[in-house]
A and B are shown apart, each in its own frame.
Chain A
Amino acid sequence: MTDFPFENRIWDSAETAPRAELERLQLDRLRGLVSRLADVPFYKNAFAEAGTSPEDIRSLDDLRRLPMTTKDDLREHYPLGFLAVGRDKLARIHGSSGTTGKPTFVAYTAADLELWANLCARFLVAGGLRPEHTAQIAFGYGLFTGGFGLHYGVEKVGAAIVPAAAGNTQRQLTLMCDLQTDVLVCTPSYALTIAEAAAAAGLEPRDLPPRFGHFGAEPWTEDMRREIESRLGLLAFNNYGLSEVIGPGVSGECALRDGMHVQEDHFLIECLDPDTLEPVAEGEQGELVITTLTKEAFPVLRYRTRDIARLDRSPCPCGRTTARMSRVVGRTDDMLIIRGVNVFPSQIEEALLHVEGTAPHYMIEVDRPGTLDVATVRVEVREQDFSDKMSQMQALRDRIDREIQSITGIRMSVELIEPQTLERFVGKAKRVIDHRVTDSS
């Protein structure tokens, strides 16, 4: 008999549908998706090139013959080239948190928003949210999908919401204590910031009201979960999503917290070798590739998430029949998530090019010494940039600093170092040392 830390409740009976029934539904929905996509120019061309028609989809295995979609494809069709419905059908537009040049936008119909709320409700209920609870949402409300996604999910469940939004930690503490919020929704690193601020204010963080925490929007580890739980005295749950697919709600943990249940009736998930694009062996790490089966406004076919994780298709004692995905353990590109913002090393290179005229050697180091990510960019000084005047050297540093901030949107600490001190690479250079992801999970 499995021990549940609290009552194992299931929001939607679809979560426990027998696999055969689920797969029939998926196949049916996949066929529908392919015919809907035939009106989207990008897919129309891709289908024509590959000679695909909806009638070719006879089994779920045929998915592998369908074309893939990448972030670059979305960018090339900026802003809304992937729309599969008319503008008059749109109910909402969100944007990716990515700051790689142009943002990417995603759109929702009213039905998409309803679906999204339902998907968030599923993982929230799986992770202990009940109608009698009050949830404090400390995510940004805006183009970012985190705030609104969780907001409507909590509302769907019937719980009360304190839409605290991100930041102002003192006020978060006041709201938490005065309104007795049972559930905290934010990034894992912000949960730790709240714990530290509570301790600094002379409060015992373990005595803060929240007993459940739903954390996402950035990678974290099992060590961090243990730390959050012991410091805040709550149960911490992980959830996963990305704006290009829908936002939060792609997957989330149940009470047993042994992987995140993928909402497979709405998303087909593949785990592929990022080089060969062939499926990895069961349980092996690979790149997650996701197909949205039911989204109307902005459906994507085989979207390459670039997130590396494992899939576990064994049954879960909670009763859900859906596959579970592990934490995201890495990226196939070199994207970093720093304080919730997506950063690519190529952006640092771009910033340095703006300052210098040519690309010098650099290394990005990311750490989380306390609760917040700290990024340091070490840049080799070149002969021609070196001045005996301190003011000029400071100005050089400041220019790099400002340029990085304007391109990435976040502040990094810039260190000038001696030339020829960074390792030189043949082929693909290693530009990043991420001290946050060194534990085993």
Chain B
Amino acid sequence: MKLHQLSVFLENKPGRLSEPCVALADAGINILTLSLADTQQFGILRLIVRDWQKARDVLEKAGCVVKVTEVVAIEVADQPGGLATVLKALESESVNIEYMYAFTFRSEDKAVLVFRFDDPDAAVAKLQDRKLNVLSPVELYELVEQ
């Protein structure tokens, strides 16, 4: 029930964001979603793609430093309280969030929250206990690419 996320180190220099994106585009890899964390000194680009192994090889070949981490995607209703419900559940289960990002779908009233936990397996078990809709990779890809 976990997704593979690719993180790419970005130097804080003009053109640095486009390099990995161009490399993926040239390889015909579609980015399902991404998030960017940055400081004055450097940034971290986090990507979800369908074929993560291929994407990782493409990025590494392009000279990027890539790290693969497991993240958890949760589907919620795209309405007020959608995120809050999940956060409350995590809080009451004392699950620590490293970081998260979210995206929505125009065709459906759904949103997907992507979470990075220190212990994703424990987090998934607790979320499922609370009847939250943790997406498998296949479910996510279907949702995004329909």
Identify the A interface with B (CB < 8 A). 381-383, 386-391, 393-394, 397, 414-421
Instruction: State whether the Cβ of B105 lies closer than 8 Å to any Cβ in chain A.
Output: no
Contact across chains for A418 and B11 when beta carbons are under 8 A apart? yes
Docked CA distance A416–B40 (Å) = 11
Option from A389, A391, A414, A418 in Cβ contact (under 8 Å) with B9: A418
List the A residue with the shortest CB-CB distance to B7. A388
Chain A residues with CB below 8 A from B98, complex form: 389, 391
B41 and A397 contacting across the interface, CB-CB below 8 Å: yes
| Nearest-Cβ distance from residue B114 to partner chain A, whole angstroms | 12
Are B65 and A386 in touch, CB under 8 angstroms?
yes
Q: Is B44 an interface residue (CB 8 A)?
A: yes
Bound complex: CA A360 to CA B12 (Å): 19
Q: Given known contacts A390-B39, A393-B42, what 10 new A-B pairs fall within 8 Å (CB)?
A: A382-B65, A386-B7, A386-B9, A386-B65, A388-B67, A388-B116, A389-B99, A416-B41, A418-B9, A419-B63
User: Chain B 34-47 against A: per-residue CB contact (8 Å), 1 yes, 0 no?
Assistant: 00010101101010
Which residue, of A381, A386, A414, A419, has the highest number of chain B Cβ atoms within 10 A? Answer: A386
When distances are taken between beta carbons in the complex, the residues of chain A under 8 Å from B23 are none
Top 5 nearest A-B pairs (CB, nearest first) are A388-B7, A386-B65, A417-B11, A418-B11, A390-B37
How distant is the Cα of A107 from the Cα of B124 in the complex, in angstroms?
69
Instruction: Known contacts A393-B44, A397-B41, A416-B41; decide if A387 and B11 are in contact (CB<8 Å).
Output: no
CA distance A120 to B39 in the complex (A): 50
Query: Does the CB pair B37–A415 fall under 8 Å?
Result: no
Cβ-neighbour of A416 out of B5, B11, B16, B37 (below 8 A): B11
In chain A, what residue has the closest Cβ to B68? A388
- Could you say which of B10, B41, B44 contacts A415, with CB atoms under 8 Å apart? B41
Known: A388-B46, A397-B41. A420 touches B67 (CB 8 A): no
- B116: chain A residues at CB < 8 Å are 388-389
Task: Point out the residues of chain B lying under 8 angstroms from A388, CB to CB.
Answer: 5, 7, 44, 46, 67, 69, 116
- Interface pairs (29), CB distance under 8 Å: A381-B9, A381-B42, A383-B65, A386-B7, A386-B9, A386-B65, A386-B67, A387-B7, A387-B67, A388-B7, A388-B44, A388-B67, A389-B98, A389-B99, A390-B37, A390-B44, A393-B44, A397-B41, A414-B41, A415-B41, A415-B42, A416-B9, A417-B42, A418-B9, A418-B11, A418-B63, A418-B64, A419-B65, A420-B63
Question: Contact partner of A421 among B11, B42, B69, CB < 8 A?
Answer: B11
Chain A residues, Cβ within 8 Å of B7? 386-388
Report Cα–Cα, A418/B19, bound state, in Å. 12
List residues of chain A with CB within 8 A of the CB of B10: 418
Contact B67 A418, beta carbon cutoff 8 Å? no
Minimum CB–CB distance from B124 to chain A (whole Å) comes to 18
A391 to B37, alpha carbons, bound, how many Å?
11
Are A418 and B65 touching (Cβ within 8 A)? yes
**Least Cβ–Cβ distance between B132 and chain A, in angstroms:** 23
Residue of B nearest to A415 (CB): B41
* Distance in angstroms between the alpha carbons of A136 and B67 in the assembled complex: 57
A-side contacts of B5, CB under 8 Å: 388
Who on chain A is nearest to B71 by CB?
A: A388
Compute how far the CA of A383 lies from the CA of B10 in the bound complex, rounded to whole angstroms: 13
Chain B hits for A421, CB < 8 A: 11
From A389, A416, A420, give the contact of B42 (CB < 8 A): A416
Q: Which residue of A lies closest to B65 (CB)?
A: A386
Q: How far is the CA of A415 from the CA of B39 in the complex (A)?
A: 11
Q: In chain B, residues 58-109, which have Cβ atoms closer than 8 Å to a Cβ of chain A?
A: 63-65, 67, 69, 98-99
CA of A357 to CA of B97 in the docked complex: distance in angstroms?
29
Instruction: Give the residue name and chain of the B residue nearest to A419 (CB).
Output: B65
CA distance A421 to B42 in the complex (A): 14
Q: Which of B9, B64, B69 has the most CB of A within 10 A?
A: B9
Determine how close the nearest CB of chain A comes to the CB of B25; give it in whole angstroms: 19
Interface centre among A388, A389, A393, A421 (most CB of B within 10 A): A388
Q: Which residues of B have CB within 8 Å of A386?
A: 7, 9, 65, 67
Determine the chain A residues whose CB is within 8 A of the CB of B69 once the complex forms.
388
- Once A416-B42, A421-B11 are accepted as A-B contacts, the answer to whether A390 and B65 lie under 8 Å apart by CB is no
> Which residues on the A side are within 8 Å of B39 (C-beta)?
390, 394
Q: How far is the CB of A82 from chain B (nearest CB, A)?
A: 45
CA distance A21 to B116 in the complex (A): 82
* Cβ of B64 to closest chain A Cβ, rounded Å: 7
Alpha-carbon distance between A393 and B42 when the two chains are bound, in angstroms: 9
